Structure formats: structure tokens, C-alpha cells
């Protein structure tokens, strides 16, 4: 059975709701929220990007995806629709990635319940921005046909 980014985000919300006194739940919620956003972007936006925006410089998949979206946003201000959403997504996903790395690997750093709520809020906004991005591109493609 396949899972969707929305289902992963729902799991993050459950973990955050059950996180009172359990930092492991906070950390897991932060991580799941990031992956919900990352997978939504990877699945829903990359098909709209052309190969000219792909950075093949040895970076990992996560950094490469953020780089693709950043490149689209920074070079498309007038020419391409959706650049505002792309700029927001790339900036937010980069912030979320840093927090996800902290949650997954920096167990010496305390994370409180607020961090899980911030991550969930950001992921929710990224998922909304992904839908707006797609809608703008689809409208532009329909108008150009």
C-alpha cells in the first residue's frame, strides 16, 4: 500500500499530539513533517522542472531537490509562473531540512514541543504551496496551448 505526503503529515500531527514528556515523539514529528514536505515537492513539482535546473554537482538528493527549486525561483521571476511559490518552498524546505537533521542526529540538542508544531505548520504550508505552484503552471500551460 502506497503512502501519501498528507498521510505522513497526519502521522507527524499524531506524534506531536502525543509528545508531552517524550522528546522522541517531538523528534519523530519534526522528521515526519520534513519528509511529508520533501516528498510532496519531489513527487509533485519536479515533473514541471526542466533538466536545465538540475544541479549535478555531487550533492545528495535532498540538497539537489532544494537546489532545483531555488534555481527555478531565482531565474524565473518574469518568464515562468509559480516562482513565488517555488521561492517559498525552497527557503522553507531548506530550513526544515536543518531541523530534521538536528532532530534525527543531534540527540545532544534539546527539542521542545514547539519545534514539532513549527515543523507541522511549515509542512502544511509547503503542501499548500505545492498545490498553488501546480495550479499556476497548469493555467499557464492551458493559456499557452
- The residue behind cell 505522513 is 8
138's CB contacts (< 8 A; 6+ apart) are none
Structure confidence by residue, pLDDT tens digits, 28-40? 999 999 999 999 9
Q: Is the model's pTM score more than 0.75? A: yes
CATH number for 46: 1.20.120.330
b/e sequence 99-118, b meaning 16+ C-beta within 10 Å: bbebbeeeeeeebebebbbe
39 is in which domain, residue-wise?
Answer: 5-144
In whole numbers, what is the pLDDT of the chain averaged over residues?
Answer: 87
Structure confidence by residue, pLDDT tens digits, 5-18? 999 999 999 999 98
Structure confidence by residue, pLDDT tens digits, 80-95? 788 889 999 999 999 9
User: Count of domains in the chain?
Assistant: 1
Other CB atoms within 10 Å distance of the CB of residue 28: 21
Residue 79 has pLDDT above 90, yes or no: no
Amino acid at each position: 500500500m502506497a503512502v501519501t505526503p498528507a498521510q505522513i503529515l497526519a502521522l507527524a500531527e499524531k506524534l506531536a499530539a502525543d509528545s508531552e514528556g517524550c522528546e522522541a515523539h517531538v523528534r519523530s514529528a519534526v522528521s515526519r513533517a520534513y519528509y511529508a514536505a520533501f516528498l510532496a515537492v519531489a513527487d509533485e513539482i519536479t515533473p514541471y522542472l526542466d533538466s536545465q535546473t538540475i544541479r549535478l554537482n555531487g550533492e545528495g538528493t535532498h540538497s539537489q531537490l532544494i537546489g532545483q527549486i531555488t534555481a527555478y525561483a531565482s531565474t524565473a521571476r518574469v518568464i515562468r509562473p509559480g516562482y513565488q511559490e517555488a521561492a517559498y518552498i525552497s527557503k522553507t524546505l531548506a530550513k526544515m531540512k536543518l531541523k530534521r537533521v538536528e532532530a534525527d542526529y543531534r540527540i545532544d540538542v534539546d527539542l521542545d514541543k514547539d519545534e514539532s508544531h513549527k515543523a507541522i505548520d511549515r509542512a502544511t504550508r509547503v503542501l499548500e504551496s505545492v498545490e498553488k505552484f501546480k495550479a499556476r503552471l497548469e493555467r499557464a500551460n492551458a493559456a499557452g496551448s
